[in-house]
Structure 1
């Protein structure tokens, strides 16, 4: 039986509910990452004994599932775009924004799907965007490809942001610090392709990079689809 199927325990003298437990866990994760979340720390945040929480959740992994499902509500758009391409673009962009608000989310994306109500609603919104446009196997591969790109790009961006917080160096500070070494290595002539990237490539911000890459992936999906909407 999943956590969403189990009824909550009767009200105790000090009010406690899964919603309060999840909110406290998300607050801790927003402050210090997933390593800051434990049943003991969540219980302390709620001024409750740890054993009381085990009446609502069976493990930390189950708590993580609840946290992800709660944040999925932030990803679901209020209105479903009519066009499949716009629908997938909106969902991907909203996933990125949710991960920037909750940096820990990137570490929990891409594994087994969370079967909570919000996660299922996001999955339904994603799949229904195609609305019989093509066969279901093609739809599944298309969704997998878009998700793989989005999750990979989001993880890279959040990892860079985490590195900035840990080191205190911004992207440009880091580049300046490593500039002399890179210049000397490129001067050897051993890395011509890398030299072109460093000296001739256009540096774009993370939002622009994500959007361009997403559009390229959606172009590839469109090439595989049939029908006038593609």
Structure 2
């Protein structure tokens, strides 16, 4: 076990900093990247609840105990899986202009989350500190730091917080809707047929005029278009008026 000294005593060094175990004379060569790729594949098809060291080992054709040479627990396995997805996000095409750079990274994050639905469950749950996650964080922060109105590190921190909150909420909502529809076998038209009469009766009471307007006059919004519209609205908001410049904010 590799240890590092911290203010709280000795702790295992992060999985990304530990050297790979020495290769064995075994029929199946292993690496952390190979284990992570296999785990990602299983999670894509079975979800995180269906993921286990035993299943990964079976998929790789090795005994479960061999995997513990590479990852000491499930938490480390999830760290490697998350960073493997960030490696995909890091492939976003580089952009010279700050706004285009942020849009490219965020849209690439959405695409990766839709490909790996379990990834959204881990967004915001714990710090993502793998090398690819840090690379994505650096490119996002560096681009956003060039935006007008973000004059200091406090403004940049707030802007990143707003952007991350939007991203986590939007992706979790979109993916949850997809999962529910898939699990129940109910699409939007079937849902409307089942609950439409009830909703009509409730709206006819006149107690919900704004909801009624949204139901009757609002168009069905495309998920990708809505995501892009809301993202650009967020960027417009966080880069035009800093909190210090807003006269409507209460003091202190």
User: TM-score under structure 1 normalisation?
Assistant: 0.92
User: What is the SS of the residue equivalent to 1:129?
Assistant: helix
Give unpaired runs (5+ residues) of structure 1.
Answer: 226-230
2:233 counterpart (191, 216, 219): 216
Native 8 Å contact 1:80 1:125 kept in 2: no
Counting matched residue pairs gives 225
Structure 1 residue 47, shift from structure 2 partner: 1.6
Structure 1 residue 78, shift from structure 2 partner: 4.7
Structure 1 residue 130, shift from structure 2 partner: 3.6
Native 8 Å contact 2:92 2:104 kept in 1: no
Please name the residue that 1:228 is paired with.
none
With a CA cutoff of 8 Å and minimum separation of 6, indicate the structure with the bigger relative contact order.
1
- Which one has the largest radius of gyration? 2
Structure 1 residue 73, shift from structure 2 partner: 1.3
Give unpaired runs (5+ residues) of structure 2.
Answer: 1-12, 243-252
For residues 110-121 of structure 1, the aligned pairs below 5 Å read 110-121=124-135
1:142 counterpart (159, 168, 171): 159
CA distance in 1, matches of 2:193, 2:119: 30
1:43 counterpart (45, 54, 57): 57
For residues 1-230 of structure 1, the aligned pairs below 5 Å read 1-12=13-24, 13=26, 14-131=28-145, 134-224=151-241
Pair 1:36–1:183, CA change in 2 (3 A): same
Greater shift in the superposed pair: 76-85 or 92-101: 76-85
User: What is the SS of the residue equivalent to 2:141?
Assistant: helix
Structure 1 residue 171, shift from structure 2 partner: 2.5
